[in-house]
Chains A and B, each alone.
Chain A
């Protein structure tokens, strides 16, 4: 979905600094079975107005990754072993509560999978919306009420005034999700992180939410990080895609390139199974079990299930190998191809 820029390129235009830069994010959890390696050495960037998709099955580390972008996970039990995050040239430090609180919700906002669960059951919708404004310096007033109503309206809520008086349990899944999206964009953030925003919804609501997110990106120019296990969903919105498996990014690239020419066997498997689902064909079965994050295998973590695995894969863990235009994959197959 990248737009071809045909304007003449100015002589020395500096590369635009990315809005969000994540390097070396590593998160682990203690458990009775041993330490769970939820996220291992994840690095990526997000540009202004850009949207990326993070794709993986459950346990791939995608939720932990996106929740960690503002160091949100309670720690303990999470253990932040490593990682640096830069937002808009400033470093976001984990111990800097003041900056984090200023950034969260107003510059970097989140939308969660289960919308109703993300709303406090004891407060009305209106109260919860006003609360966000109040927490970021705009106490309740006639002006804020207008902002709240407008924001809801812009999220395709039919009767915002009535909705303000409702409690979360009175809302349908689709409406609740649109409310949480409204809560995310009410202070006009630069980044919206959406963790499986459509998974709990029916098909119609899914499409609505996706269209809404896309429109938001266009209207206010915010970046979007969309996390999902569903390739089709990601394809609609994302400019670039990151594929995660067992806590690592195993492949990345522009959406078009990735979908037309997947290189990592896991990406191919994901694509195959999603396409066959769409075409009603036989279910593509990926052999083996999802990895045990507390006891990862030696070598490439995907190797036990990989149809193309050879000896080296079971022994050595592949480093990311770049190829093509802004493409990268952790797979020894690329070396044999000699790109």
Chain B
């Protein structure tokens, strides 16, 4: 039951630089660990994160095994128009999660 926490300001003035914060629930198993009996624990990580602002991609990140569990990704963008931010995380074992947030730009 993966859950995400998103922090986008509800309102902003046109041209404002706003901070977007995202926290995604994921174990980020590196694939380098072994069980007590020596078997490799298979890699299970988020490999890709994308943020779209009214359909246009504004931020993308590739993730690797060194990134800690429950990745916290924050970035900045310019508030240009009212609308929707869409977030998408994809990863190993068919992991695919989405979340969204709306903003009103005045």
A, B co-complexed: no
- The chain A residues found within 8 Å of chain B, CB to CB, are none
Residues of chain B whose beta carbon lies under 8 Å from any beta carbon of chain A = none
